[in-house]
Amino acid sequence: MQLKSLRDVFTHELKDMYSAEKQILKALPKMINKAESADLQDALEDHRMATESQVNRLEEILGSLDEPKGGAKKCKGMAGILEEGDELLHDGAENGVLDAAMIGAAQKVEHYEIAAYGTLVAYAKQLGEDRAMELLEQTLEEEKSADEKLTELALSINDAANAEA
């Protein structure tokens, strides 16, 4: 895809996040399953549901821009972050230690998303795409609150992990 205008970059990055969110939706159930802490499970499940809304918002925006939802574009950044997260599940960490490691992996996902949606909000504003801006801001806020929730959970979960043999 040739990027000749800011609008082209906007569309390109929307498709990137569409791919990223779909990958996250696929990865979350496994993490929820492996989590030992019920609070961590709940936080991940809440975010899984929020992620479904985020996919719907991107579909609405891409639809309004008359863009096919894309399939063609794969977010390699998110693929890499999720691959590293998945490695943790196979590296022998258990229980509280695995929970602590998964929180770190999940926060890398959130930070990628916060960076990407912050940029998308700025593009939408610049381009006068008011509805898209509103939807992207909603998603950005959800990503930030998911990240904050994980930071809060890490306080007790890292402490418990550190107390384990």
Confirm or reject binding of residue 99 to Zn ion (CB under 5 A): no
Compare residues 13 and 143 and give the one whose CB is closer to Zn ion: 143
Pick from Zn ion, Fe ion, none: which does 129 bind, CB < 5 to 8 A by kind?
A: none
At residue 82's C-alpha, the angle toward residues 79 and 86, to 5°, is: 130
Compare residues 30 and 159 and give the one whose CB is closer to Fe ion: 30
- Considering only 14, 31, 75, 106, the residue that binds Fe ion (CB under 5 A) is 75
24-53 binders of Zn ion (CB under 5 A): none
Compare residues 97 and 106 and give the one whose CB is closer to Zn ion: 106
104-133 binders of Fe ion (CB under 5 A): 113
Q: Note whether 75 and 113 are within 8 A (CB).
A: no
13-42 binders of Fe ion (CB under 5 A): 16
Confirm or reject binding of residue 143 to Zn ion (CB under 5 A): yes
With a CB cutoff of 8 Å and minimum separation 6, the contacts of 162 are: none
Cβ burial 98-136 (10 Å sphere, 16+ → b, else e): bbbbbbebbbebbebbbebbebbbebbeebebeebbebb
Q: Note whether 24 and 82 are within 8 A (CB).
A: yes
Compare residues 17 and 98 and give the one whose CB is closer to Fe ion: 17
Token representation of residue 53: 């809304």
Confirm or reject binding of residue 77 to Fe ion (CB under 5 A): yes
Token representation of residue 80: 């890499």
Pick from Zn ion, Fe ion, none: which does 77 bind, CB < 5 to 8 A by kind?
A: Fe ion
Helix axes 130-163 and 38-64, enclosed angle (nearest 10): 160
Task: State the residues that interact with Zn ion by CB under 5 A.
Answer: 113, 143
